[in-house]
């Protein structure tokens, strides 16, 4: 999506290539930024600010108690975290940042598979039929993803 176009590893590598004038690995860029190189440091700082700005919109809209940041680019987070946190603090509505727990979780690529398996097992052993409405986010989300048998378009009613 749009955020991926700005702060993903490929986006960072493109910006680094443009700024430095040659292809350098992300690891080399991280080392340069940590040693005080202003050019690479600014790229990571800008990416962290952009990420924080985008996440502040999510926080302002949903007011989560916990925000978990991680994934495949987690090894760059030590450079992104301070500007991301500053942008969150600046752009979150009053009081929302103070109540927010920010967790950095450097999961590997297998975390996505484990999460999907967990959702599948949860559904298998705790089917929707036996859940109370509003039990969890998945139940709420299912209200908006119900399809009608005749036209297969999403229906906004839980009855389908």
Q: Same domain, yes or no, for 33 and 76?
A: yes
Name which of 8-17, 24-33, 83-92, 143-152 the model is least confident about: 143-152
| Confidence (pLDDT) at 158 | 41
Q: Same domain, yes or no, for 133 and 90?
A: no
Q: Same domain, yes or no, for 42 and 114?
A: no
pLDDT tens digits, one per residue of 61-111: 999 998 888 766 677 888 999 999 999 999 999 999 999 998 887 776 677
Which residue, chain included where needed, has tokens 């967990």? 118
Q: How far is CA 56 from the centre of its chain?
A: 11
CA distances from 149 to 84, 123, 127, 144, 156 (A): 45, 22, 21, 15, 14
- Counting the structural domains of the chain, the total is 2
- Comparing 150 with 53, the larger pLDDT belongs to 53
Is-contact 128 145, C-beta < 8 A?
Answer: no
Q: Same domain, yes or no, for 53 and 121?
A: no
Q: Shortest CA distance to 143 belongs to which of 154, 130, 127?
A: 154
For residue 76, what is the domain's CATH number? 3.30.420.40
Q: Same domain, yes or no, for 95 and 34?
A: yes
| Most confidently predicted of 75-79, 134-138, 146-150 | 75-79
Cα separation, 12 vs 6, whole angstroms:
7
Relative orientation angle of helices 77-91 and 26-34, to the nearest 10 degrees: 70
pLDDT band (50, 70, 90) for residue 154: very low
Q: Same domain, yes or no, for 130 and 115?
A: yes
Q: Same domain, yes or no, for 118 and 51?
A: no
Residue 6 domain boundaries = 2-108
């Amino acid at each position: 999506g749009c955020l991926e176009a700005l702060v993903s590893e490929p986006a960072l590598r493109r910006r680094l290539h443009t700024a430095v004038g040659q292809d350098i690995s992300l690891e080399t860029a991280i080392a340069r930024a940590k040693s005080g190189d202003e050019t690479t440091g600014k790229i990571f700082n800008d990416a962290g600010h952009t990420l924080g700005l985008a996440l502040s919109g999510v926080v302002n809209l949903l007011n989560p108690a916990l925000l978990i940041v991680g994934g495949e680019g987690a090894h760059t987070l030590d450079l992104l975290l301070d500007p991301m946190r500053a942008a969150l603090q600046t752009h979150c509505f009053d009081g929302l940042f103070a109540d927010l727990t920010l967790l950095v979780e450097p999961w590997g690529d297998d975390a996505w598979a484990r999460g999907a398996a967990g959702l599948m097992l949860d559904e298998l052993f705790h089917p929707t039929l036996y859940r109370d409405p509003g039990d969890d986010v998945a139940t709420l989300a299912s209200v908006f993803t119900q399809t009608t048998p005749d036209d297969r378009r999403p229906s906004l009613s839980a009855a389908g």
